[in-house]
Amino acid sequence: MGSVRSMTGFGRSEAETDGRRYTVEVRTVNHRFLDISIKMPKILSQFEASIRGIMKEYLERGKADVFISFYNTSGETECVHYNKSIAAEYLKYLKEMSEDFDLDNDVRVSHLSRFPDVFTTEEGELDEDRVWKEFEPVLRAALSEVRLSREREGDNLKADILSKLQDIGKEVSVIEGRAPEIVENYRSKLMERVREMLSDSTIDEARIVTEVTIFSDKICVDEEITRLKSHIDAMGADLEKGGGIGRRLDFIAQEMNREANTILSKSSDIITGDTAIELKTGIEKIREQIQNIE
């Protein structure tokens, strides 16, 4: 038995190894398909395909926003560059200024080194294998947290939908029980009207039976009731089975709504009509909840 999972979730994980700190945050919301958006430092961009591959192990549907930060204070990859040509340009113009304004040329190395771009610090190459081995567990920990939060929310959705299915089942039973009573009421009223019209004349019982039969066929919802019961059972079974059932549940809900519409169109009394409306309302509430299921 798998868990029912919501598509709404959040997970965060952080770790630091030898001055390299990794942080991963993942937020997920409803979406028809799996849509992954990743924001991360350029220096980690070579891992994007691997990150997406791992995320597909944890998520089947939903819009996932991933925020990755990486801080490297180890100093292992920092390189200092001396830009000799820029330093030469500064010296050239400093000498020219000295001659133009008759000033002492008192430039020292310590002064020149402070000029912009004479020395620059650049980030060197990362040890990709080491960084990935450190980063992957952080990513998986965040995704595990997302999955757990989605399962907790999924349990709530499951309980709510099962409760609503019970309510719908009761309404279906009301409609099912009303049909024979409606037919009998129609037959009695029809007989009364015919007696009033014909007074003491003989009533054609066969014609009455025919009329009642035609009326019964018009309001008959036996097939719709049978299919609705089947859909209710199927949805309940899928909820107990769990897994990626969102699309299937949505299809079942559409079919349930179709049967409810047919029942409403055939309703011939206030009680059946009102119950059919309540039935449709309940199905719509279920369908709204299903949109959150993975």
Q: What is the pLDDT of residues 11-22, one digit of tens each?
A: 999 999 988 899
* Residue 277 pLDDT grade (very low, low, confident, very high; cuts 50, 70, 90): very high
SS3 of residue 78 by DSSP: strand
Residues 164 and 217 in one domain: yes
Question: Does residue 2 lie in a domain region?
Answer: no
Query: Within 13 A of 125's CA, how many CA atoms are on the CB side?
Result: 3
Residues 187 and 231 in one domain: yes
Mean pLDDT rounded to a whole number for the chain: 85
Residues 6+ apart with CB under 8 A from 147: 5, 9, 11, 58, 59
User: What range does the domain containing 159 cover?
Assistant: 152-290
Residues 272 and 190 in one domain: yes
Residues 174 and 90 in one domain: no
Q: How far is CA 149 from CA 26, 123, 293, in A?
A: 11, 38, 13
Question: Which range, of 21-35, 137-151, 210-224, averages the lowest pLDDT?
Answer: 210-224
Find, among 40, 70, 43, 41, the residue nearest to 55 by Cα: 40
DSSP strand pairing (34-39 vs 62-72) = parallel
Amino acid identity at 159? A
Residues 243 and 269 in one domain: yes
Kindly report the number of other CB atoms within 10 A of residue 80's CB atom. Answer: 8
Residues 102 and 199 in one domain: no
Residues 52 and 111 in one domain: no
CATH of residue 214's domain is: 1.20.140
Residues 134 and 248 in one domain: no
* CA–CA distance, 215 with 189 (Å, rounded to integer): 12
Instruction: Examine the pLDDT at 2 and tell me if it is beyond 80.
Output: no
Instruction: Examine the pLDDT at 7 and tell me if it is beyond 60.
Output: yes
CB 276 within 8 A of CB 264: yes
Burial class from Cβ neighbours inside 10 Å (0-12, 13-18, 19+) for residue 261 reads middle
- The CA-based dihedral angle spanning residues 215, 218, 223, 224, taken in that order and rounded to the nearest 10 degrees: -120
pLDDT digits (tens, 9 = 90+) for 200-226: 556 666 766 666 566 555 657 778 889
What is the count of structural domains for the chain?
3
Instruction: Enter the pTM of the model.
Output: 0.69
* Residue 176 pLDDT grade (very low, low, confident, very high; cuts 50, 70, 90): confident
Share of residues in the chain with pLDDT > 90 (%): 52
Residues 82 and 69 in one domain: no
Residues 141 and 32 in one domain: yes
> Which pLDDT value is given to residue 117?
84
Question: Does residue 99 lie in a domain region?
Answer: yes
Compute the radius of gyration of the chain from its Cα atoms.
37
Burial class from Cβ neighbours inside 10 Å (0-12, 13-18, 19+) for residue 267 reads buried
Tokens representing 265 are 């169109």
From the centroid of its chain, how far is CA 45? 26
CB 28 within 8 A of CB 7: yes
Tokens representing 69 are 């930060």
Residues 42 and 116 in one domain: no
Axis-axis angle for helices 246-266, 270-290 (nearest 10): 170
> Which pLDDT value is given to residue 216?
59
Instruction: Examine the pLDDT at 118 and tell me if it is beyond 90.
Output: no
Residues 215 and 266 in one domain: yes
Question: Does residue 3 lie in a domain region?
Answer: no
Select the more confidently predicted residue: 241 or 222: 241
> Which pLDDT value is given to residue 260?
92
